[in-house]
Chains A and B, each alone.
Chain A
Amino acid sequence: MQLPDPEILLNDITAKIKALVITDTALVGIHSGGVWIMQRILGTLGNIPHGTLDAALYRDDYAQRGLKNEPKPPNILFDVQGKHIILIDDIFYTGRTTRAAMNELFDYGRPASITLAVLINRGGAELPIAPQIVGAELMLNPNQDLQLSQDIKGKLHLGIKNG
């Protein structure tokens, strides 16, 4: 399967996000891919209030899977109250990570709005949640594992594994 070039998708969603940025906008990246993408967007758009989270403490599969071995501490240093938040993730799949991330954000304050931006929507939503800003739509089977990676120069790559 021919995968899209994530660098082109990144330029695309950066342009879409740029059009949305107003005074009270803040960016929040979800670890790990969403944080890489956010850092690149900040590199283009300049300094916008921003933070990171990994939503591990809010996931619905904690009882089955427990905590990850390397949890990343959240880092939300701006005041969430009243902000228009653009939540950034690499791949949108079931919507469960987004649900967990939104719940975590609300524990920091009441945002004015949340917009979800992703590089790829791979289909398979299990919740009434959908990304508003999408680089590309790819319909994948559940046994296909799509992963974003970042090389040492900061360049993004997409890979797929068939399980």
Chain B
Amino acid sequence: MVNPQLDKNGHLKHLLTIEGLPKNILTQVLDTAETFVGVAERDVKKVPLLRGKTVCNIFFENSTRTRTTFEIAAKRLSADVINLNVGTSSQSKGETILDTVDNLIAMHTDMFVVRHNQSGAAHLIAQHVPDNISVINAGDGRHAHPTQGLLDVFTVRRYKPDMHNLRVALVGDILHSRVARSEIHALTTLGVPEVRVIAPKTLLPAHVEKLGVQVFHDMNEGLKDVDVVMMLRLQSERMSGAMLPSAQEYFKTFGLTPEKLALAKPDAIVMHPGPMNRGVEIDSRVADGKQSVILPQVTYGIAIRMAVMAILAGGNA
């Protein structure tokens, strides 16, 4: 099957999902991100790589944090950035997605960053754009959120470089999380031998064990001796009906408290993709504690997005 993300030479052309990306591409993104980590600590927080290029953030669904990090990443690469919140723009006047895209192409956009609540929206745009334009999926429905998955894996690799010797637990709303699938794929591709998911049965997708993970329904069993705890956000806005009794009840069973974290390895790190629901999935003492790397994740998110844009934009001339 042709992978729409790769060009005929096997180079990254679009970033739509981590699924199907070979290990060499994942490693290339992570290694390139290493070169960008230091840029923000310099006098001049910019490199001239995307000078003269135009990056368009098309957000059909609101996500201030993701949009901001893509905007900062593009600007640190010296690109010009246009932000379009389509929810409040011409789509409400009846324009189709591809008409919106065609208009932006006519304005000489070089790269699209797309967020949509429907799975496959970024794929649709990637198939539609001409060869010299790249598309980055910034989250589509429940399907994928590849840059979040990459930045999480990058964070794991920075703190725990020996990935062939790790036990990683993903905790919480796996069912609605577009990050969880991206992460499971990236972790297993990069050689992490043991990925666990810990969640109530109602928040696990059917056949989740086919992704190569071990399934737990009890925090006390699942967290035992893990090196990395990845908390997921309760996606209350994506939930319908009574999947959970109540937030308090959820916290009691699946919230990460210092007591539960003590079951993991003493040097385990705690991650969260944000925004956090304090007191629902994570205790403030853990979120602000010594083992938390939640804010470094945000910092690394910029480096990862810079790396993806830099890899996509080069070598097209």
Residues of B contacting A107 in the complex (Cβ-Cβ under 8 angstroms): 42-44, 46-47
Q: Which residue of A lies closest to B314 (CB)?
A: A66
The yes or no answer to A95 lying at the interface (CB within 8 A) is no
Residues B311 and A67 in contact, CB atoms below 8 Å apart: yes
In chain A, positions 57-102 with a C-beta closer than 8 Å to chain B are 57-58, 62-67, 69-75, 80
The yes or no answer to B48 lying at the interface (CB within 8 A) is yes
Taking a contact as CB atoms closer than 8 A, the residue among B31, B37, B42, B47 that contacts A58 in the complex is B47
- Min CB distance, B307 to chain A, in Å? 9
Closest 4 pairs between A and B when the two form their complex, measured CB to CB: A66-B315, A66-B314, A107-B44, A63-B317
Residues of A contacting B314 in the complex (Cβ-Cβ under 8 angstroms): 62-63, 65-67
Residues of A contacting B48 in the complex (Cβ-Cβ under 8 angstroms): 57-58, 103
- Min CB distance, B48 to chain A, in Å? 6
Residues of A contacting B35 in the complex (Cβ-Cβ under 8 angstroms): 54, 56-57, 71-74
Cα distance A106–B42 in the bound complex, in angstroms: 10
Taking a contact as CB atoms closer than 8 A, the residue among A58, A64, A67, A75 that contacts B32 in the complex is A67
Residues A57 and B49 in contact, CB atoms below 8 Å apart: yes
Residues B31 and A70 in contact, CB atoms below 8 Å apart: yes
The yes or no answer to B38 lying at the interface (CB within 8 A) is yes
- Min CB distance, A56 to chain B, in Å? 7
Mostly helix, strand, loop or mixed at chain B's interface? loop
Q: Which residue of B lies closest to A65 (CB)?
A: B315
- Min CB distance, B29 to chain A, in Å? 10
Binding site for A on B (CB under 8 A): 11, 28, 31-32, 34-35, 37-39, 42-44, 46-49, 310-311, 314-317
Residues of A contacting B310 in the complex (Cβ-Cβ under 8 angstroms): 57, 67
25 contacts between A and B (CB under 8 A): A57-B39, A58-B47, A62-B49, A62-B315, A64-B315, A65-B314, A66-B11, A66-B311, A66-B314, A66-B316, A67-B314, A69-B28, A71-B31, A71-B35, A72-B35, A73-B37, A74-B35, A75-B38, A106-B44, A107-B43, A107-B44, A107-B46, A107-B47, A108-B42, A108-B44
Cα distance A62–B34 in the bound complex, in angstroms: 18
Interface residues in A, total, Cβ within 8 A: 24
Residues of A contacting B28 in the complex (Cβ-Cβ under 8 angstroms): 69
Q: Which residue of B lies closest to A106 (CB)?
A: B44
In addition to A56-B35, A62-B49, 11 A-B residue pairs with Cβ atoms within 8 Å of each other are A57-B47, A57-B48, A65-B315, A66-B311, A69-B31, A70-B31, A71-B32, A71-B34, A73-B38, A106-B44, A108-B43
- Min CB distance, B4 to chain A, in Å? 19
Taking a contact as CB atoms closer than 8 A, the residue among B38, B46, B317 that contacts A74 in the complex is B38
Q: Which residue of A lies closest to B316 (CB)?
A: A63
Residues of B contacting A124 in the complex (Cβ-Cβ under 8 angstroms): none
Cα distance A80–B34 in the bound complex, in angstroms: 21
Residues of B contacting A80 in the complex (Cβ-Cβ under 8 angstroms): 43
In chain A, positions 35-67 with a C-beta closer than 8 Å to chain B are 54, 56-58, 62-67
Contact mask for chain A residues 100-127; partner B; CB cutoff 8 A; 1 contact, 0 none: 0001101111000000000000000000
Cα distance A57–B303 in the bound complex, in angstroms: 13
- Min CB distance, B233 to chain A, in Å? 31
Q: Which residue of B lies closest to A71 (CB)?
A: B35
Residues of A contacting B32 in the complex (Cβ-Cβ under 8 angstroms): 67, 71
Cα distance A74–B39 in the bound complex, in angstroms: 9
Cα distance A70–B34 in the bound complex, in angstroms: 10
Cα distance A108–B39 in the bound complex, in angstroms: 9
Residues of A contacting B42 in the complex (Cβ-Cβ under 8 angstroms): 107-108
Q: Which residue of B lies closest to A56 (CB)?
A: B35
Residues of A contacting B43 in the complex (Cβ-Cβ under 8 angstroms): 80, 107-109
Cα distance A107–B39 in the bound complex, in angstroms: 9
Cα distance A66–B9 in the bound complex, in angstroms: 13
- Min CB distance, B261 to chain A, in Å? 32
Cα distance A56–B49 in the bound complex, in angstroms: 9
Q: Which residue of A lies closest to B45 (CB)?
A: A107
Residues of B contacting A65 in the complex (Cβ-Cβ under 8 angstroms): 314-315
Cα distance A119–B31 in the bound complex, in angstroms: 29
Taking a contact as CB atoms closer than 8 A, the residue among A58, A64, A108 that contacts B317 in the complex is A64
Residues of A contacting B311 in the complex (Cβ-Cβ under 8 angstroms): 66-67
Residues of B contacting A109 in the complex (Cβ-Cβ under 8 angstroms): 43
Cα distance A45–B37 in the bound complex, in angstroms: 31
Residues of A contacting B315 in the complex (Cβ-Cβ under 8 angstroms): 62-67
Cα distance A108–B46 in the bound complex, in angstroms: 10
Cα distance A72–B35 in the bound complex, in angstroms: 6
Residues of B contacting A67 in the complex (Cβ-Cβ under 8 angstroms): 32, 310-311, 314-315
